[in-house]
């Protein structure tokens, strides 16, 4: 299995990369991207296993399809990194690179080619190759530390993709409602976001907290918040949305020090979102 994976990833993709560095789907030419998204996760990621994020959200993370396959210290450090970049305006492929790059400082040239394989749908690989690669990657969990760097990169990118998706609520005229449920040590946290597209476009966020806590919604300059002193449902509304902005939704529970960050994004209509320029 190790040899087959290397043939799929190292020989096939790296040979292509050496001849002509691959472009992400949104690129027409090679670009440089800023690295200053957030402070890098410590290279010694095992030290983060007992941080506040792990204590509060680990139960839900462990239940997720791909993140749940990772060793606990890696899972905790990767989630902390994803929380740092979830609000960044970068495209998904670059987010995946940023999420894992501090884990693999010596393998920087592998990150973009592997991100192209992980992205779904696959833009540069045929579907059979992608299916085979992903199936083999997900079988590595029982021996993560013994896996090759290429395999670890791919597995962490898949986990980061799932984490970022789980903390992103996407709304549009075609799909005006989105929701998330998160398991916490105190009970189920439920979030729902509803978008009304009219002259006075409005966002309504409803949060059901399992204990006392607060919910904050902000756009980088203006903030709204709601609090409860016991398990309850809170509601925040935002009028005249700016479609160019991404809204941060932060949930805090009274017994925990670390908040959980979500983002609410307004997606462009299909006819413009995929327009060729």
CATH number of the domain at 200, please: 2.60.40
Q: Are residues 28 and 78 in the same domain?
A: yes
* Nearest by Cα to 112 from 129, 95, 126, 128: 95
Q: Are residues 84 and 212 in the same domain?
A: no
- Tell me, what's the pLDDT at 276? 29
The total of structural domains in the chain comes to 2
Q: Are residues 38 and 150 in the same domain?
A: yes
H-only helix segments in 7-71: 12-19, 52-63
pTM as predicted: 0.74
CA distances from 60 to 51, 154, 175, 190, 196 (A): 15, 21, 26, 13, 30
- Tell me, what's the pLDDT at 85? 94
- Tell me, what's the pLDDT at 252? 94
Position 191 confidence tier, pLDDT thresholds 50, 70, 90: very high
Q: Are residues 109 and 195 in the same domain?
A: no
Q: 225 lies in which domain range?
A: 169-273
Q: How far apart are CA 92 and CA 207, in angstroms?
A: 26
Lowest mean pLDDT among 90-104, 126-140, 147-161: 126-140
Q: Are residues 65 and 49 in the same domain?
A: yes
Q: Are residues 15 and 151 in the same domain?
A: yes
The last residue of a domain, from among 114, 135, 166:
166
């Amino acid at each position: 299995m190790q040899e087959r994976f290397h043939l799929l990833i190292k020989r096939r993709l790296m040979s292509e990369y050496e001849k002509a560095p691959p472009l992400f789907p949104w690129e027409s030419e090679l670009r440089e991207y800023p690295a200053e998204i957030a402070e890098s996760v410590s290279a010694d990621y095992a030290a983060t296993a007992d941080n506040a994020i792990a204590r509060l959200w680990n139960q839900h993370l462990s239940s997720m399809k791909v993140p749940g396959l990772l060793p606990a210290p890696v899972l905790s450090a990767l989630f902390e990194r994803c929380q740092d970049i979830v609000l960044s305006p970068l495209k998904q492929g670059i987010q995946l690179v940023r999420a894992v790059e501090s884990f693999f400082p010596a393998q920087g040239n592998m990150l973009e080619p592997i991100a192209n394989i992980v992205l779904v749908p696959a833009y540069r690989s045929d579907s059979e190759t992608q299916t085979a690669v992903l199936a083999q990657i997900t079988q590595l969990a029982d021996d993560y530390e013994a896996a090759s760097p290429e395999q670890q990169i791919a597995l962490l990118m898949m986990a980061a993709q799932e984490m970022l998706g789980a903390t992103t609520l996407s709304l549009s005229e075609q799909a005006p409602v989105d929701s998330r449920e998160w398991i916490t040590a105190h009970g189920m946290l439920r979030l729902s976001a509803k978008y009304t597209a009219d002259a006075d476009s409005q966002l309504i966020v409803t949060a059901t907290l399992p204990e006392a806590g607060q919910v904050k919604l902000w756009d980088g300059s203006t903030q709204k918040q709601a609090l409860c002193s016991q398990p309850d449902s809170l509601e925040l509304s935002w009028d005249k949305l700016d479609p160019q902005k991404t809204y941060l939704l932060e949930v805090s529970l009274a017994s925990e020090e670390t908040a959980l960050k979500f983002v609410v994004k307004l997606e462009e209509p299909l006819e413009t979102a995929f327009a060729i320029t």
